[in-house]
Structures are given as structure tokens and as C-alpha cells.
Copies of this chain bind each other. A is one copy, B any other.
Amino acid sequence: MKLYDAELSGNCHRVRLLLALLGKPYDKVAVNMRAGENRTPQYLALNPRGQVPVLSDGDFNVWDSQAILVYLARAYGGETWLPTDARGMADVMQWMAVSENEILYGLARARVMQKFGVPGDIEACRQMGHKILDVMNGHLARRDWLACGRLTIADVACFPYVALAPEGGVALDAYANVRRWIERVKALPGYVGMPGV
């Protein structure tokens, strides 16, 4: 397997983390986005959105970190990481959606603004981030994991940009249950970190 990757991308880290937890070996292909390597015709043929990550598994290519997590869970994780019964899958998908919405457009955006100087309304992003952290903190008060009463790709999807929230100026001090969940993920066999986590 080949992962088109950028080291500081939390979206890529979601995929690296699941691959590590699954114990699947793979090769990394570093994509230099500042040099425009994600806008070449070759790369756009892999991913018309021109983003990282992309996963190549034999003759199959899949783009988007959420879709890649679903692919890996179904291909190599059995029912454990993503159940296929309607209720279980919906439970996981609720938090996958949070990872694509408030976590990406709140926490991750605040981080790229603060860390990389990308322009935008950082306070609005931080506020969106705090709102969802409050929801997660309440949800995790009586649960160890986000969905299905066990570790699933919902946790993997949400983890990187929640753990990286302080890099966007969003402190986690007020969210004790979220901090305990972060420590739980970090203690998993096979866990790999990334700069800033």
C-alpha cells in the first residue's frame, strides 16, 4: 500500500494512525504542496480535489481521509472498526460527520490560521471548536469511546485535530473527559503520534 502524505496534515495522520493500529505496512509518498506537487496532472488523476491523503492499494485508489478510513476498516478491520448493521454504522457515522464539520472547519482551520498564517476568521473557528469540544466532553462523561461502546474509526477520525487543538489557540483544560480520551488513544498498542500531538 502507498499513502500520499504530508507530515503536518492531521487528515493524513488519521490514516497513518489507523494503519499503525491495524499493523498494516505501507510506503509513504511525501507530497510537497507548497511546490504544487498536488496540482500536477498526474496527481489530479489520483485525486481531482488535489489534496492529501490518497491511498493506493494495488489497483485501487481512494482519496479523502474519511473515505480512506472506511476503506481500511472494511478491507482489513472486519466488523470491529466499522460495523455494518444500520444502528452501529450510524453511530460511527455521527462522529465521522463531526470530524468533517466542526473539527475540520473549527479546530483544524484555527490551527492552519495560527500555525501557517492562512487568513480567515480565527475567533469564529475557535468558537466552533469550543462548542463541539463541549459536546464531546459531555458525551465522553459516561463513555470511553465515541461510538458503539468501543474503539472505532470514529475515534481515529476525530483524534488528530482534537489533540492538535492547542496549536490553534484552543486550550483543552476545560475538557477533562476529552483529555482522558486523548490519553486512552495514545495508550493503544501500535499508536503513532505526529508533531504537535
Interface residues of A (CB under 8 A from B): 48-49, 60, 62-68, 70-71, 74-75, 84-87, 89-91, 93-94, 96-98, 100-102, 104-105, 120-121, 124, 132, 135, 138-139
Task: Check A66–B121 contact: CB distance below 8 A.
Answer: no
Q: Which residue of B lies closest to A135 (CB)?
A: B48
Q: Which residue of B lies closest to A55 (CB)?
A: B90
**In the assembly, how many copies of this chain are there?**
2
Task: Check A62–B100 contact: CB distance below 8 A.
Answer: no
Pick the contact of A100: B85, B87, B100, B121 (CB < 8 A): B100
Task: Check B86–A67 contact: CB distance below 8 A.
Answer: no
Q: Which residues of B contact A98 (CB under 8 A)?
A: 49, 64
Pick the contact of A86: B49, B64, B74, B90 (CB < 8 A): B74
